[in-house]
Structure 1
Amino acid sequence: MSEAFIEVVTVIDAAPSTVFDLELDMQVHAESLAGSDETATTSTGRPRLGMDDEVTFSARHFGIRWRMTSRITAYEPPYRFVDEQISGPFRAMRHEHRFEDLGGGRTTMTDRMTVSAPFGSLLAPYLRRLLTQRAAHIKRLAEARRRRTSE
Structure 2
Amino acid sequence: MPVIVLTTKIKAPIQVVFDLSRSIDLHQSSLQHTSEKAIAGRTSGLVEEGETVTWQAVHFGIKQKLTSLITDVQPHHFFADEMVSGAFKRFRHEHHFSEDGYGITTMKDIFDYDSPLGFLGHLADILFLKRYMTRLLEQRNVALKNTAEDGSWKELPGMLVHS
2:23 maps to 1:25: yes
Aligned CA distance change for structure 1 residues 93 and 145 (closer, same or farther; 3 Å): same
- Other-structure match for 2:91: 93
Aligned CA distance change for structure 1 residues 46 and 132 (closer, same or farther; 3 Å): closer
Measured on the aligned residues, the alpha-carbon RMSD in Å equals: 1.7
2:143 maps to 1:133: no
**Unaligned 5+ residue runs, structure 2?**
116-120, 155-160
**Unaligned 5+ residue runs, structure 1?**
none
| TM-score, normalised via structure 1 length | 0.91
Question: Aligned letter for 2:97?
Answer: F
Aligned partners of 1:45, 1:4: CA distance in 2, in Å? Answer: 29
Count of residue correspondences: 146
The answer (yes or no) to whether the contact 1:24–1:49 under 8 Å persists in 2 is yes
Higher mean displacement: 90-99 or 114-123: 114-123
Aligned partners of 2:78, 2:139: CA distance in 1, in Å? Answer: 20
- Other-structure match for 2:3: 5
The answer (yes or no) to whether the contact 2:8–2:106 under 8 Å persists in 1 is yes
Aligned partners of 1:40, 1:59: CA distance in 2, in Å? Answer: 9
Percent identical pairs in the alignment equals 36
1:47 Cα deviation from its structure 2 partner:
2.2
Question: Aligned letter for 1:61?
Answer: H
